[in-house]
Amino acid sequence: MTDWLPPEALVALALSLRVSLWATVLSLPFGVAVAWLLARRRFPGHGVLNGLVHLPLILPPVVTGYLLLIAFGRRGVIGQWLHEVLGLTLAFRWTGAVLAAAVMAFPLLVRAIRLSFEAVDPKLEEAAATLGASRLAVFATVTLPLILPGVLAGAVLAFAKAMGEFGATITFVANIPGETQTLPTAIYTFLQVPGGDATALRLVLLSVLVAMAALGLSEWLARRVARRVRGL
Amino acid sequence: MLRVSLRHRAPDLEVDFQAPGGITALFGPSGAGKTSVLRAVAGLLTPEQGRIEAGDLLFDHSARVNLPPSRRRIGYVFQEPRLFPHLSVAQNLRYGSRFAAPGTVPDAARLIELLGLGPLLARGIAGLSGGEAQRVAIGRAILSGARLLALDEPMAALDAPRRAEIMTYLEALRDETGLPMLLVSHALEEVIRLASTLVLMEGGRVRRAGPLADLLADPALVPAFGVREAGALLHVVVTGADPDGLTRVQAKAGPLFLPHPAAMGAALRLRVRAADVTLAVTRPEGLSALNILPATVTRLLPDAEGPGGTVLLDCAGAALMARVTGRSVAALGLAPGRPVWAVIKALSVAA
């Protein structure tokens, strides 16, 4: 493998996997909560929240990255507080890459989970309540088991998106080998240096494979939701 | 004893009734508010005012009591079975018991036998027929430790044979478990077969509530049940079987014949539709009808519109009704106190 890929490329691949995993795991609870709010609740600000969640999908990634830098940079409103109170620095660190990837993947995550929430008939939840289940128990014993494949599908999709995130990451945390250089930013670097084309191409191939595998898995899981809610 | 008193604006409801136990039917045309009342009892609809009591206080607007559906112990059977698709039949049946207080859940094995669910237990719910699924839903509701079974037209989505099957199971449950039930229905046939108390609803109001036999025999309610359906219930005892297939039964006023077999000594409720009763002033002869009872006219009630009317009869203490035209009333000289013969053209067993 080391002959096929130079060490810097392997480091970038490992970092990408780590960043994407953390981004997926950390955003999952928020994704479920926001998807539930959007699918099952009507409240003032519903449209605003929906727009906000989808914003990273539409904004140029460089804008999202810059906004993250303003908010979470060392002098940013939130970044300064995080640094002083929790000792957590995000800008130009791999933790920042996690945040950038999570924000960029969030719309895909929420979309997939929201669709599975909408596939669950609220009448089933009503029936569970008459059988003695509290709201929390209804969610844990009826809603969640029914949407679980959809949650996983969303997570897989978010993971793939995180693996491919470039614009927001490079703007917010730059492209520091070993710290913030992920697969896409590594490809970009190899393309800039003479003789790096072959390595770049190999990394491109890896990216395509990861993306295809994730899409396939996500589709399969989404179909499982559809079968599950019909009792098959 | 279930006591319901509530007011609501959308949907418009103003309802007050009591259900003493056994099966109480909420009967009326669609849009009468029957399902809304049932949902209010189960806590799925919160009325603007009122009080609901079923052993414990479930809802009292002025005392700010409003138990959530999960704590009311009202087993709700919906029009559609609403089984959980990710669980097997056995898991669906067990679902509510984990939330129930100890001692409130009846014996599962006996109930499974009573509802004929044994062969279905290991199955998923996708392959169940409509009737099977509804039986599982009934079992699931009872096994949640319900104090009252709320049945929201549980047979409406089924074909006639399945409907008859579910009715047989509900009868068995009624007679064996003694679990009080509140049945929403717009099919009089179901109500007559199952219920002992009737709450007649119209436009979000209770028009009348009381024992089923009293309401059925009330001529003022003839339009509510439909001219074809109004009638009385006769209590009889089976006394013998004739070789030609007829069953002899004894009513207070005299012997009658049923056109199908029944168990010797059984007490039956016979349904006598007013439209199936013909009146004669002398004992008729040369008539194909077998069932002829002596009776006395107690009241004449002409319809508000049209040439028809209802004659109320006393038949050795049992109230019978006959539908006749005003012309016949005049021709026969029918008046309160007049002895007549009631010719019953058809009899059916109500329960």
What residue ranges of chain B have pLDDT lower than 50?
none
User: What residue ranges define each of the domains in chain A, with the CATH number in brackets?
Assistant: 7-229 (1.10.3720.10)
Q: Taking CB atoms and an 8 Å cut-off, how many pairs form between chains A and B?
A: 76
User: What are A145-189's pLDDT values in tens digits?
Assistant: 999 888 988 999 999 999 999 999 999 999 999 899 999 999 999
Nearest Cα to Cα of residue B69 among A130, A135, A134: A130
Interface of A with B (CB under 8 A): 121, 123-124, 126-135, 137, 141-142, 145-146, 228-232
- B2-216 against B269-349: fold identical: no
Indicate which of A116, A120, A130 best probes the interface with B, i.e. most B CBs within 10 Å of its own CB: A130
- pLDDT for position B280: 92
Q: Is B45 in the A-facing interface, judged by CB distances under 8 Å?
A: no
* Residue A57: CA count within 13 A, CB half-sphere: 13
The verdict on B154 touching A (C-beta cutoff 8 Å) is no
Partner-chain contact B95 A145, CB within 8 Å: no
Task: Quote the pTM value.
Answer: 0.79
- CA A138 to chain centroid, in Å, comes to 27
Chain mean pLDDT for chain A: 91
> What CATH number was assigned to the domain covering residues B269-349?
2.40.50.100
- The burial of B282, by beta-carbon neighbours within 10 Å (0-12 exposed, 13-18 middle, 19 or more buried), is given as exposed
Domain boundaries, chain B: 2-216, 269-349
Cα–Cα distance for residue pair B319/B299, rounded to 1 Å:
11
Inter-chain touch A124–B84, beta carbons under 8 Å: yes
Q: What is the mean pLDDT of residues A90-112?
A: 94
Whether B59 and B44 have beta carbons less than 8 Å apart is answered as: no
> What per-residue confidence (pLDDT) applies to B68?
96
Closest alpha carbon within chain B to A144? B86
B8 vs chain A: nearest CA distance in angstroms?
A: 21
CB-CB under 8 Å, B68 with A123: no
pLDDT tens-digit series, residues B55-110:
899 999 999 999 999 999 999 999 999 999 999 999 999 999 999 988 899 999 99
CA atoms within 13 A on the CB side of B106: 21
Q: What count of Cα atoms within 13 Å lies in the side-chain half-sphere of residue A146?
A: 25
Evaluate whether B125 touches B89 at the Cβ level (below 8 Å). Answer: yes
A228 CB neighbours in chain B (<8 A) are: 85-86
Chain A positions touching B73 (Cβ under 8 A) are 132
Q: Which two tokens mark B123?
A: 């199955």
On the question of pLDDT at A1 being above 60, the answer is no
pLDDT of amino acid A231: 67
B139 touches chain A (CB under 8 A): no
Q: What is the pLDDT of residue A188?
A: 92
The reply to whether ipTM tops 0.85 is: no
* Contact across the interface for A231 and B83, Cβ inside 8 Å: yes
CA distance B87 to B80: 17
Query: Tens digit of pLDDT for each residue in A40-71?
Result: 999 999 999 999 999 999 999 999 999 999 99
- The residue among B38, B84, B104 with the most chain A CBs within 10 A of its CB, best to mutate, is B84
Contact: B69, A124; criterion CB under 8 Å: no
Which superfamily does B2-216 belong to?
P-loop containing nucleotide triphosphate hydrolases (3.40.50.300)
Q: Taking residues A100-113, report their average pLDDT.
A: 95
